[in-house]
Amino acid sequence: MMDIDLNLLRIFDILYDERNVTRAAARLFLTQSAVSHALARLREVLGDPLFMRIPSGLQPTERAHQLAPRLRVALAEIRSAVARRYSTRPRPASASSLRLVPTFACWSFPA
């Protein structure tokens, strides 16, 4: 079994969309350095470069193309599960909403 920080998967998803570390960092409200370090950790965990540098930004590898749609579905399912839990609680009409972003989560995959 392999443990993966879910935040790394979210960063991968945004990098796949943006194909640019700087733009991905801006969307994630992180520094460019933090996104680069996260990508390095993800590359190590998955054993693939995932993105190759090209003049216009990043080019996904074949493995990244294979992972992206499956991870997007998995992340959407997680968001949905969390949203359902919080949407079952009644909120007063005057209640403000707060978007929660997990700071740490692990996901286990069979090796």
pLDDT at 83: 86
Q: Is the pLDDT of residue 84 over 80?
A: no
Q: What is the pTM of this model?
A: 0.74
Question: Among 37-41, 68-72, 84-88, 90-94, whose mean pLDDT is lowest?
Answer: 90-94
The sign one gets for the Cα dihedral 22, 27, 32, 35 is: negative
pLDDT at 3: 84
CATH code of domain 7-84: 1.10.10.10
The sign one gets for the Cα dihedral 79, 84, 89, 93 is: positive
The stretches of 47-105 forming alpha helices (DSSP H) are 62-87
CB of 102 closer than 8 Å to CB of 6: yes
Q: What is the mean pLDDT of the chain?
A: 85
Average pLDDT of the residues in 52-79: 96
Alpha carbon distance 75, 23 (integer Å): 20
Alpha carbon distance 111, 103 (integer Å): 25
Helix, strand and coil in the chain, % to nearest 5: 55, 15, 30
CB of 106 closer than 8 Å to CB of 4: yes
Average pLDDT of the residues in 18-38: 97
